[in-house]
Structure 1
Amino acid sequence: MKKVLTIAGSDCSGGAGIQADIKTMTANNVYAMSAITALTAQNTTGVTGIVNIAPEFVKSQLEMIFEDIFPDAIKIGMVSSPEIVEAIEYELVKYKSKNIVLDPVMVATSGSNLVENSAIKIMQEKLFPLAKLITPNIPEAEVLSGIKIKDEKDMERAAKIIYENHGCAVLLKGGHSINDANDLLYENGKAKWFFGKRIDNKNTHGTGCTLSSAIASNLAKGYTTEESVQRAKNYISDALLAMLDIGKGSGPLNHSFNINGEYAKEADNE
């Protein structure tokens, strides 16, 4: 079984962050591991508190993982302080990590800020060059590219700017009112569109975490970047179509929509 590591923050309500990553990786048939960068007090309506993990302890988590169960791919999510960014970079370089998918998380689905402004710049300097792929949404891509994105031409221009500035492939997610969930992959100087129909489901808490984790899972299994993106989009579409509806705000996806078996049937009968 392939192994995938998520380096991210914890979401106590289970819809995003580490919890969403582990659910997604398990559903995509890889062995999930985690290094937690922050604890958050949040639910589907918002974030009320963030406690960063000490950088040295983040390093300790990573060392224990790399020295025992070396990951075939890595997903990086919420990294909320410059010191934690530097700790992660040190370990990734030290162990010559591969297949890194970085989701530059800046704001939660609920609109709450998750990352210190000072961490964004150092993340670009330290972690982007190590990544195989980064997965910004429209607001994040506007920050990273320095341009306003109003249409698909702007998406292509922004993705090219980010690619040329940092040397990593870019999956620019178009779900923020630009189009019908069409995403743009910019890799090796070429643009590739992935077309998708917008699903009428208000419950999108953790979609970014889920997508990047699914991509990392498929890279670990040996698929190309393009194949991994398509397979991840298929997974997240099905998870949205399952129409899970829990929580008072923007609820989570049903990450386990395709899990069946003896124990599931037994539970259904209780």
Structure 2
Amino acid sequence: MTTVTPAAPTQLLAQTGLEARQAIRSGRWSGHTSGTAPHFVQGNVVILPEALANDFLRFCQRNPKPCPLLAVSEPGDPRLPRLGADLDIRTDVPRYRVWRKGELVDEVTDIGALWRNDLVTFVIGCSFSFEQPLIDAGIPLRHIAQGKNVAMYRTNIQTAPAGPFHGPMVVSMRPMTPANAIRAVQVTARVPAVHGAPVHLGDPALIGIADLATPDFGDAVDILPGEMPVYWACGVTPQAVVMEAKPDFCITHAPGAMLVTDLLDSELAF
């Protein structure tokens, strides 16, 4: 008799932020979080020494499209009570990236051994949080249908600098028909806390993207006849900025492997 090994799941099947974090904390999931915990807000993560925290806070304030702030921790405190009562930033992200002097030196699933009393956590809104409202509006999303991470690209759009922090904006891309693109602008404009409306539609060359088939982060998806690429500012932008600013030490989430919070998408809309 032939034994069939089940295929590895392509999506974390959690219904709430807490359920997602428990699966991540226990080591049962270390992949991307696109499509998980529908209606719960997800966040990008940047962790920096306190000496750089004020500069990065100003950077986020000057660049609200790619870096809409959801929460900032106290120095050395791994908790973010506004985002979840049972939340520990040291264990609750599927994969973390460790940076030293702008170089990616490691990718881990737990940062307890790296934690310091001077570290400040920034949680930045994520486009995954508006994907369920897009689906609810009847707009299909190919990367979710295919169990992929969203495609992300560095652009020639420069961010407004603050202190040592500067660099290019990163965007996420979703292919859509023109009619769905118009509807997507309407839906996402209501949620500026998770990037808001798109920053560009159509020709990738106009924002410095050479080849949509080779994203800088995430997974490529096909653009079918009659569709156009639609681009949103992305919370992976700080990782491009870290490469430029070269701080001595920084921790971020791995692209697509987000912090899933207890906030509901409806709490962010206006």
Which structure is higher in helix share? 1
TM-score, normalised by the number of residues in structure 1 = 0.27
Which structure is higher in strand share? 2
